[in-house]
Amino acid sequence: MNSIIEARGLCKHYDDVHAVDSVDLNIKPGTVMGLIGPNGAGKTTLLRTLLGLADYEGELQVLGMDPIKDRARLLQQVCFIADTAVLPRWMRVEQLLDYVAGIHPRFDRDLAERFIGATDVQPKAKVKALSKGMTVQLHLALVMAIDARLLILDEPTLGLDILFRKRFFEQLLNDYFDDERTIIISTHQVEEVQNILTEVMFMKQGRKILQSTMNDLEEDYVELHVVGAAVEQARQIDHIGQRGILGGQAFIYQGVDRARLAPLGELRTPTVSDLFVAKVGGYEGQHHV
């Protein structure tokens, strides 16, 4: 299969609200894609359409299937973690393992027990007695023990402290991801996932603003840090965003020859978060091409 997800003109409207507005997608196997956007951008709605949990207009294939017509078959090969890990609070951990083993044909209980054994989660503990961090760890262990080809994460570490967040993404990358699996991560904590992403997609008001591989971002965009008199020279070159830095300004350019910029200051690759603000949010005083 050449693409895990293919969409053309994907739309989802709620009355007059265009939650997903004419989105085209093509996501290959082995991709770790960061889905970035402000609140209300349509990220969660887009993910729900991919899972077959919301109807839509346009064309959509996920793992070669129609998410609505083939939902039951699709969900055997897709896993999902939301910002609130919804697990039966009255169950003990070992009972939850029994339950998942009984309903999911691709679940490997031994593997789940090994993942849980590396955490502080105790098999006889009730889910309701677990902290938020341990609940997310339990949910991740269950998901990673399922032989799924697509994992969708919607703000999975929301409300967790930095140690739990770091451990979550390290475990995800080291113990789950491979060249045949695809992960989509919707998050506001861009800096924490940037190093594991192979691709990013920016959304605003239901529309796709940008989709690019990380390698292409480094080729297409450059950030220039300028101090002193060169600031005004840098400002006169068409840029997509600028912000203040200590003693000067940082400008982000798209498609500008680096040899033209190098004499003015220090060249860097913009972070995903800074590029997002430039493309979607806008820095004060930016000059759009």
How would you label 163-195 residue by residue, b for 16+ Cβ within 10 Å and e otherwise? ebbebbbebbeeebbeeebbbbbbbebbebbee
Question: So what's the pLDDT on residue 288?
Answer: 37
Regarding whether 233 and 117 lie in a shared domain, the answer is no
Assigned token pair, 122: 């105790």
How would you label 54-90 residue by residue, b for 16+ Cβ within 10 Å and e otherwise? bebeeebbbbebebeeeeeebbebbbbbbeebebeee
Regarding whether 32 and 138 lie in a shared domain, the answer is yes
Regarding whether 142 and 50 lie in a shared domain, the answer is yes
Q: Is residue 289 pLDDT above 50, yes or no? A: no
If pLDDT is split at 50, 70 and 90, which confidence band does 284 have? very low
Question: So what's the pLDDT on residue 285?
Answer: 41
Q: Is residue 202 pLDDT above 50, yes or no? A: yes
Determine what percent of the chain is predicted with pLDDT higher than 90: 65
Among 205, 230, 250, residue at a domain's last position: 205
Q: Is residue 212 part of a domain?
A: no
Distance, CA of 41 to CA of 19 (rounded, Å): 7
Regarding whether 186 and 237 lie in a shared domain, the answer is no
Regarding whether 146 and 105 lie in a shared domain, the answer is yes
Regarding whether 86 and 223 lie in a shared domain, the answer is no
Among 205, 232, 259, residue at a domain's last position: 205
Mean pLDDT of the chain: 90
Regarding whether 109 and 143 lie in a shared domain, the answer is yes
Query: What confidence tens digit (pLDDT) does each residue in 45-83 have?
Result: 999 999 999 999 999 999 999 999 999 999 889 998 887
Distance, CA of 171 to CA of 57 (rounded, Å): 36
Question: So what's the pLDDT on residue 52?
Answer: 92
Q: Is residue 210 pLDDT above 60, yes or no? A: yes
Query: What confidence tens digit (pLDDT) does each residue in 130-151 have?
Result: 988 888 889 889 988 998 899 9
Regarding whether 127 and 164 lie in a shared domain, the answer is yes
Q: Is residue 224 pLDDT above 90, yes or no? A: yes
Distance, CA of 199 to CA of 213 (rounded, Å): 4
Q: Is residue 276 pLDDT above 50, yes or no? A: yes
Question: So what's the pLDDT on residue 2?
Answer: 82
Coil, strand or helix: which one is 33? strand
Report the number of distinct structural domains present in the chain. Answer: 2
Question: So what's the pLDDT on residue 287?
Answer: 40
Region 223-230: what's the mean pLDDT?
94
Regarding whether 200 and 71 lie in a shared domain, the answer is yes
Distinct helix (H) and strand (E) counts, the chain: 11, 13
If pLDDT is split at 50, 70 and 90, which confidence band does 219 have? very high
**What range defines the domain where residue 131 resides?**
5-205
Q: Is residue 126 part of a domain?
A: yes
Query: What confidence tens digit (pLDDT) does each residue in 240-273 have?
Result: 999 999 989 999 999 999 999 999 999 999 999 9
Distance, CA of 4 to CA of 26 (rounded, Å): 8
Regarding whether 157 and 23 lie in a shared domain, the answer is yes
Q: Which is more confidently placed, 281 or 214?
A: 214
Q: Is residue 211 part of a domain?
A: no
Q: Is residue 287 part of a domain?
A: no
User: Is residue 82 within 8 Å of residue 53, measured between CB atoms?
Assistant: no
Distance, CA of 177 to CA of 121 (rounded, Å): 22
Residue linked to tokens 């502080």:
120
Question: So what's the pLDDT on residue 1?
Answer: 57
Regarding whether 19 and 147 lie in a shared domain, the answer is yes
Q: Is residue 17 part of a domain?
A: yes
Regarding whether 226 and 266 lie in a shared domain, the answer is yes
